[in-house]
Amino acid sequence: MQRLFNFSAGPAMLPAEVLSRAGDEMLDWHGSGMGVMEMSHRGKEFMAIAADAEADLRELLAIPKQYEVLFLQGGATLQFAQVPMNLLRGRRAADYVVTGEWSKKAVKEAKNYCEVRVAASSEDRAFSYAPRDWQLSADAAYVHYCSNETIGGVEFHWIPETGAAPLVADASSHFLSRPLDVSKFGLIYAGAQKNAGPAGLTIVLVREDLLGGAAKGTPSVLDYKLQADADSMLNTPATYAIYVAGLVFKWLRQLGGLAEIERRNVAKAQVLYDAIDAGFYASPVDKADRSRMNVPFRLPDERLDAPFLKGAEERGMVQLKGHRSVGGMRASIYNAMPLEGCARLAGYMREFAARHG
């Protein structure tokens, strides 16, 4: 068996240990005589799996007890609508920070529910940085931003202050890549397929006092309060995805938690940014705001893109083509990408530059 270094932005690599454990348990989970996919979500086996996943996630992020952990479906994209449905609580407007493709999509969706005020934007320089100055409005129901723009490769390396207005983060593509002070947020959401597990699961952390004010007409499954009261099992949850995410949480705890994975992620990103900054390649993002998870870069001539990708593939590295909306290259290096993968890519980048520079 040969495993490639897969630089996909998501669904993305999962830790080999997690996949092989899921494989071992496929037909018979812990002597139950059933695979996890076959279990009733109301049975004691799956209830234990879900409770364990939540406990491990709480431990990893030191989630304060006044926060609910929800295991939902519909992806981060559904959160673009579900957040205003639940958090407007009778208010008319919300503040949004626009830093790239994903925050633009969040704005577009929110406009169906409220007046969107753009508190800050980096569109003036093609979404190449994380804006520092936010103009918050006094009566905003919440402030929404994307803490890591997966396509543009812009990451907020600090948590913005928003005063009384709850801060809402789309953290999909750097969730669990570093420690995070959850208490600074009203709500954090993340589609699991970037860094936490398989597609089909969306993780939402929400402060209790924000629950219970869903707009009239909100479907029950989309009401955070009803889901919280039902332990995310108002209807059948994404059972297998929750199980695999739970294995990922255990893997993270075993390797030393989020401080340790952050240390590894910093080292991995450094290897690639050093290769970019050595010349030939260009990074479109301000140095201070470069993402540790999604590393976009360009070659000096677009005609070199195809040969670059072909050579990468020959060396066991796939999914390096940048998002169709921006072009160029992008290496997504989530938690499960080992340092060895980044080192192989950096080595190939230097070799390619020497040949074509």
Ligand X SMILES: *Cc1c(COP(=O)(O)O)cnc(C)c1O
Q: Is 146 in the site for ligand X (CB under 6 A)?
A: yes
CB–CB of 10/77 below 8 Å?
Answer: no
Residue 172 binding ligand X, by CB under 6 A: yes
Q: Which amino acid is at 320?
A: L
Nearer to ligand X, 32 or 77 (CB): 77
DSSP letter for 264, please: H
Q: Which residues contact 190 (CB under 8 A, 6 or more apart)?
A: 76, 170, 171, 172, 173, 175, 176, 196, 202, 203
In the bound state with ligand X, the residue whose beta carbon lies nearer, of 12 and 140, is 12
Shortest distance, position 192 Cβ to ligand X, whole Å: 8
The 3-state DSSP class for residue 189 equals strand
The residue range among 154-162, 170-178, 263-271, 311-319 that interacts with ligand X, by the rule CB under 6 A, is: 170-178
Told to judge if 194 belongs to the known catalytic residues of this protein, a careful annotator would answer yes
Q: Which of 194, 223, 251, 268 is catalytic?
A: 194
Q: Are 154 and 100 in contact (CB under 8 A)?
A: yes
Residue closer to ligand X by CB (options 241, 329) is 241
Angle between helices 239-255 and 257-277 (to 10 degrees): 80
Cβ atoms of 202 and 79 within 8 Å: the answer is yes
What are the respective helix, strand and coil percentages of the chain, to the nearest 5? 40, 15, 45
The residue annotated as part of the active site, out of 29, 56, 95, 102, is 102
Minimum distance, C-beta of residue 269 to ligand X, in the bound complex (Å): 17
Give the footprint of ligand X on residues 65-94 (CB under 6 A): 75-77
Cβ atoms of residues 107 and 84 within 8 Å: no
Q: How far is CA 49 from the centre of its chain?
A: 22
Nearer to ligand X, 78 or 275 (CB): 78
C-beta neighbour count of 347 within 10 angstroms:
13
Would you count residue 150 as binding ligand X (CB under 6 A)?
A: yes
The correct pick among 56, 95, 155, 170 for binding ligand X (CB under 6 A) is 170
Residue 197 in contact with ligand X, rule: CB under 6 A: no
In the complex, the smallest distance separating the C-beta of residue 34 from ligand X, rounded to whole angstroms, is 28
Q: How many residues does the chain have?
A: 357
194 touching ligand X, by CB under 6 A: yes
- Max Cα separation, the chain? 62
Q: Which one of the listed residues 56, 170, 223, 289 is annotated catalytic?
A: 170
DSSP notation for 309-332: HHHHHHTTEE--BPPTTT-SEEEE
Burial of 159 (0-12, 13-18, 19+ CB in 10 A): middle
E-strand ranges in the chain read 5-6, 67-72, 93-98, 115-121, 143-146, 148-149, 154-155, 167-170, 187-191, 202-207, 294-297, 317-318, 329-332
170 is catalytic: yes
Q: Total residues contacting ligand X (rule CB under 6 A)? A: 12
Residues 3-62 that bind ligand X (CB under 6 A): 10
| Residue 262 engages ligand X in binding (rule: CB under 6 A) | no
The minimum distance between CB 248 and ligand X, in angstroms, equals: 16
Residue (10 or 341) nearer to ligand X, CB? 10
Tell me which residue has tokens 């234990």: 48
Nearer Cβ to ligand X (86/103): 103
Chosen residue from 82, 173, 195, 239 binding ligand X by CB under 6 A: 173
Shortest separation between residue 202's beta carbon and ligand X, angstroms: 7
108 is catalytic: no
Part in contact with ligand X (CB under 6 A); list of ranges 23-31, 152-160, 168-176, 302-310: 168-176
Q: Which residue is nearest to ligand X (CB)?
A: 75
Site string for ligand X, 100-129 (x = CB under 6 A): --x---------------------------
Residues with a catalytic annotation lie at: 102, 170, 194
* Residues at the interface with ligand X (CB under 6 A): 10, 75-77, 102, 146, 150, 170, 172-173, 191, 194
